[in-house]
């Protein structure tokens, strides 16, 4: 009986060992491994937004008087187009203003002062005042806001500079500069800045043959933001012909 039991146990052990050799063991996954992801392109029905070209980028604030861009049509005998545009900045916003050529004495044989300038005809009217050409506010001609073009014969800029502003303003503050540039052709000039509580004045004195070309912007401080950019823009188109 014992012998039979021992033989039976040996047979079971042999059978168990044989089963263990044929068993397939699934390895435990390594949870610390990082997954590798391939991003495939996804098509959509949207058109991509193109990056702006340099010409489409917002323009920087101008650091000098604006240049004039003009239409192709040219008025006979004047050398400059009749119509144009100036770009000005008011309260941080750029505006394009349509302007028209104004000129004096271009066809005179011996002109007192021959010049051309682009004018905002909707806002300003050209007057001849105290032997000078003055652009005044059309709806408020008596107000001290204007752009003036004049000439002082037989003098130099240094001669008239000390007292020039006295003609226009009872100033409380004044500064002088011996070098500046003004007009479409960047004329070399002496500059004057003067002001009081009510008025602001900017003057440019240009030595020319026979005397001094005088260019003046005067503004009521209540209207400074509205009119100074326009008047300065117009002055930036000024050309002295003779």
Q: How do residues 34-76 score in pLDDT, each as one tens digit? A: 323 233 332 222 222 233 333 333 333 333 444 444 443 444 4
State how far Cα 226 lies from the chain centre. 17
Residue 137 lies in a domain: yes
Question: Tell me, what's the pLDDT at 167?
Answer: 94
Tell me whether residue 1 is exposed, middle or buried, using C-beta atoms within 10 angstroms of its C-beta: 0 to 12, 13 to 18, 19 or more.
Answer: exposed
Q: Could you tell me the two tokens for 31?
A: 């949870």
Which of residues 139 and 8 earns the better pLDDT score? 139
Residue 27 lies in a domain: no
Residue 9 lies in a domain: no
Residue 169 lies in a domain: yes
29: pLDDT strictly greater than 90:
no
List pLDDT tens digits, range 168-191.
999 999 999 989 999 999 999 999
b (16+ CB within 10 A) / e for 160-183: bbeebbeebbebeebeeeeebebb
Residue 31 lies in a domain: no
Residue 79 lies in a domain: yes
Question: Tell me, what's the pLDDT at 199?
Answer: 97
Domain that holds residue 98: 61-240
pTM of the model: 0.68
Question: Tell me, what's the pLDDT at 71?
Answer: 40
CATH at residue 180: 3.40.1000.10
Q: Could you tell me the two tokens for 32?
A: 């610390």
Question: Tell me, what's the pLDDT at 109?
Answer: 61
Question: Tell me, what's the pLDDT at 188?
Answer: 97
Listed in sequence order, the residues at least 6 apart from 82 whose beta carbon sits closer than 8 Å to its beta carbon are 71, 73, 74, 75, 100, 101
Residue 222 lies in a domain: yes
Average pLDDT of span 151-156: 95
Tell me the pLDDT of the chain averaged across its residues.
76
Residue 40 lies in a domain: no
Please state the domain count of the chain: 1
């Amino acid at each position: 009986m014992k012998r039979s039991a021992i033989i039976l146990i040996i047979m079971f052990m042999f059978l168990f060992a044989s089963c263990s050799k044929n068993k397939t063991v699934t390895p435990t996954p390594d949870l610390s491994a990082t997954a590798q992801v391939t991003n495939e392109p996804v098509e959509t029905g949207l058109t991509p937004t193109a990056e702006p070209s340099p010409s489409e980028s917002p323009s920087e604030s101008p650091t000098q008087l604006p240049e004039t861009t003009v239409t192709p049509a040219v008025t006979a005998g004047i050398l400059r187009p009749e119509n144009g545009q100036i770009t000005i900045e008011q309260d941080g916003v750029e505006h394009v203003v349509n302007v028209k050529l104004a000129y004096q004495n271009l066809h005179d044989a011996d002109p007192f002062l021959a010049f051309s300038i682009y004018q905002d005809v909707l806002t300003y009217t050209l007057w001849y005042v105290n032997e000078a050409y003055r652009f005044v506010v059309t709806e408020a001609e008596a107000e001290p806001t204007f752009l003036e073009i004049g000439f002082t014969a037989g003098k130099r800029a240094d001669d008239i500079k000390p007292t020039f502003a006295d003609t226009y303003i009872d100033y409380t503050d004044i500064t002088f500069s011996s070098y500046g540039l003004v007009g479409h052709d960047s004329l070399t000039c002496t500059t004057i800045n003067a002001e009081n509580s009510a008025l602001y004045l900017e003057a440019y004195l240009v030595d020319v043959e026979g005397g001094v070309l005088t260019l003046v912007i005067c503004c009521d401080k209540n209207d400074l933001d509205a009119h100074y950019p326009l008047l300065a823009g117009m002055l930036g188109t000024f050309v002295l012909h003779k």
